[in-house]
Amino acid sequence: MLDYKDIITKRYALGMKGGEIAAALGNSRSGVNDFLRAFEKCGALGYPLPEGITNYGIAELVYGSPSASGRDLSYELPDFSSVNHELQTRQNMTLVYQWNKYVKRCRDEDHKPYQYRQFCELYAAWCKENYETAHFTAVIGQTMEIDFAGKTMGLVDRTTGEIQKIIIFVAVLPYSQYIYAEGMISTKEPQWIEVNNHALAAFGGVPAVVVCDNCKQAVTANRDWIAPELNKDFAEWAEHNHTVILPAKVRKPKYKSSVENAVGILESGILLTLEERKYFDLSAFNRDLWTELDRLNRQPFKKKEHNRYYYWEEEKAELMLLPAVQYQYTERATPKVSSDFHVRFDNAYYSVDKTYLHKRVSIRATADTVRIYSVAGTFIREWPRAQYKGQWQTDPSDLPPNYKEFSEWNAPYFTRKAMTVGPMTVEVIKRVLKSRKIEVQTYRQCMGILGFTKRYSNKVLEECCRRALELDKVTYTFIKNSVRAVADELQEKKTAINRNEERNRGGFVMDPSAMDLGRLLSRTKNLKDRSGKEAD
C-alpha cells in the first residue's frame, strides 16, 4: 500500500515530481502518478490534509473504496470473489492454480496480469475488507504463522552459574499444521531474521503470506490494521523472499490461531519434557527440541487421517522456491581494541591481532558470524558469534608472546593497584588472574573489582574481598552484588559510633579505678571518721 500522506506532503510541501517521489519511497512511478491524478480530481480532499486523517481515510475519499486504493490501473484486477469461492468449495484447490488460471485469461484477453506475489497480497487485502473469516481458512501453501511461546527455558552459564532465558520462536503452516520451533538467547533483529530464515528452510519453501504478532521485531506501529508500519529490516526480508507480511490485529489471537495452538501443544508437552534437563549450550537445547518436534510432526492426528509430516509433503510442493541466497541482516560497529587485545561487541569479547592494540576496528556481524576489519577495510579475522553474555573468544596467536609484560594491563599492574587497598584485595586479584587459562580474559574483571574504590572507599572493598575469600566466592559477580550492602553496613556502624560520641559530648569522664570496691570502702571509712571528729 502506498503511503498517501507522505506522497501528498512531498508533492505539495516540497514540490517534488511523481518520478522523484517514487524513487524516494521505492514505489512504482505509475502508481504514484495515478494516485496524484486521482487526488487532484477528488473534490472531497485537498492540501493541507485534515488533522488526524489516515492513509485508509485518504483512500476512501480519493477512490471511494479502500479496495481499489493505490492500485496500478494498467493491471487487470482478479475476481477475488470467484477465487475465494473456488478455494472454499473445491478440495485441494490452491492459490497457485487460481493465479495460473487468472494469467491465462489475461493473456487470452490481452490484459496485463499481476505476478504471483502481488496476486497473493491483493487477495489477502480483499479478504480483510470483504470476508474476514476467509483469512483464517487453511489454504495449501498460502500462509505461515509465527510467534513467540509464552514459556521460556533456562540456559546455565558454565563460568558463572547464572541462568539465562531461552525464548522459543514458533512457526507453523496452517494447512498441514507442520510446526517449526527454535530457541533464542537474543530476540534482536539479526536473530529474528535468522530464525525466520531457518523456518523457511525447514518448511522447504516460501508461503505467499506471513502472519505475525505485533512484536517490535516485525511491526513498529499497527494503529488501524489497514496500513501497519513494518520494521524496515523485516520488510526487506519479506521483499527478498517475495512474500507479504500481514500482522494480526492487536490483542486478537484468532488472527493467528494455528500458531497459538502450536504454542499450546509445545508448552503442555515438549517444553515440559525439556524443562527436566539442564542445558549449558543453546545448540544442545535446539537439537533436543528438533528431535522432539520431528516426533510430534510424525505423530498421527487424533481426529483425521495421517499426520503433519504427510500433509507437509503435499504442501511443500505448493510453496514458492527459496531464494538462492538467504537474506542477511548486518550489524556494524567501530569499537577500540582494548589493552587485553579484545574488542567488546554485543556484551561479548573477541580477540584481535596484537598489531591493532588501542586502534579502532570495524565490525560487521550477522546472526552467527562476527567479521572484523580495519577502519580502512582490510579483513582481519572472523569469529562465530557469541552465544551468551560475557563469552570470550580468544586466539592465543593474537597475543604477543610476552603479553604479560607487553601490555599496560598485566598481573603486576593489577597486583600493585590492589596493594594500595589491602591484603584481602590483593589475594582476590591474584585468584581472579588465575581463574582462566588465558590471563588476559581476566583483566576486565580485575579492572571492575578495583574500580569499586571510585564509588566506595578502600575500606569497603577490602571488607567485601574478605567476605568473598571467607565464603570461597572469589568472583567479580559476587563482589559487584555485595559491595553496596557492605558499604551500607559499614555506614550504619559509623553512624552508631557518631551517635554515641554525640550523646556523651560534655560529660565528665571518670577513671576506671575510681569505681574500685576497695577504694570506695576506704573513702566511706574516711568520711565517717571525719564526721565523728567534727561532732566532738
Residue pLDDT tens, the chain, 536 long: 567 788 888 888 778 888 888 877 767 777 788 788 888 888 778 888 877 677 667 777 777 644 444 555 667 888 887 887 777 777 567 778 888 889 888 888 888 888 887 788 788 777 766 554 444 457 888 899 999 998 999 998 877 778 889 999 999 999 999 999 999 988 888 888 899 999 999 999 999 888 887 777 777 655 544 456 777 788 888 888 988 888 876 555 556 788 888 998 998 889 989 988 999 989 999 999 999 999 999 999 887 889 999 999 999 988 999 998 888 877 788 899 987 788 988 888 898 988 888 899 999 888 778 989 988 888 998 998 887 777 888 888 887 766 544 456 778 888 888 999 999 999 999 999 888 877 778 888 898 899 898 888 899 999 999 999 998 889 888 999 998 998 888 886 666 555 556 555 655 555 566 666 666 667 777 776 766 665 55
What does the alpha-carbon distance between residue 319 and residue 95 come to, in Å, rounded to a whole number?
Answer: 10
Contacts of 505 (CB under 8 A, 6+ apart): none
Residue 522 resides in a domain:
no
My answer on whether 235 and 342 are in the same domain is no
Query: Which letter, b or e, does each residue of 405-437 get, where b requires 16 or more Cβ atoms within 10 Å of its Cβ?
Result: eebebbbebbeebbeebbebbbbbbbbbbeeee
My answer on whether 185 and 293 are in the same domain is yes
What is the per-residue pLDDT for 166?
93
Residue 509 resides in a domain:
no
Residue 444 resides in a domain:
yes
Residue 536 resides in a domain:
no
**Range(s) of the domain holding residue 427:** 409-502
Q: How buried is residue 261: exposed, middle or buried, by Cβ count under 10 Å (0-12/13-18/19+)?
A: middle
My answer on whether 62 and 22 are in the same domain is yes
pTM, whole model, 2 decimals?
A: 0.47
Q: Are the beta carbons of 352 and 342 closer than 8 angstroms? A: yes
Closest CA to 134 of 89, 173, 172: 89
Residue 511 resides in a domain:
no
What is the per-residue pLDDT for 312?
94
My answer on whether 163 and 115 are in the same domain is no
* Residue where a domain stops, chosen among 91, 117, 136: 136
Contacts of 430 (CB under 8 A, 6+ apart): 415
My answer on whether 213 and 254 are in the same domain is yes
My answer on whether 311 and 190 are in the same domain is yes
My answer on whether 53 and 187 are in the same domain is no
Residue 526 resides in a domain:
no
What does the alpha-carbon distance between residue 344 and residue 304 come to, in Å, rounded to a whole number?
Answer: 54
My answer on whether 221 and 91 are in the same domain is no
Residue 305 resides in a domain:
yes
Closest CA to 238 of 332, 331, 320: 320
My answer on whether 122 and 52 are in the same domain is yes
My answer on whether 181 and 277 are in the same domain is yes
What is the per-residue pLDDT for 134?
41
Residue 229 resides in a domain:
yes
My answer on whether 126 and 148 are in the same domain is no
What is the per-residue pLDDT for 310?
93
Number of structural domains found in the chain = 4
My answer on whether 186 and 219 are in the same domain is yes
What is the per-residue pLDDT for 128?
60
* Residue where a domain stops, chosen among 360, 380, 400: 400
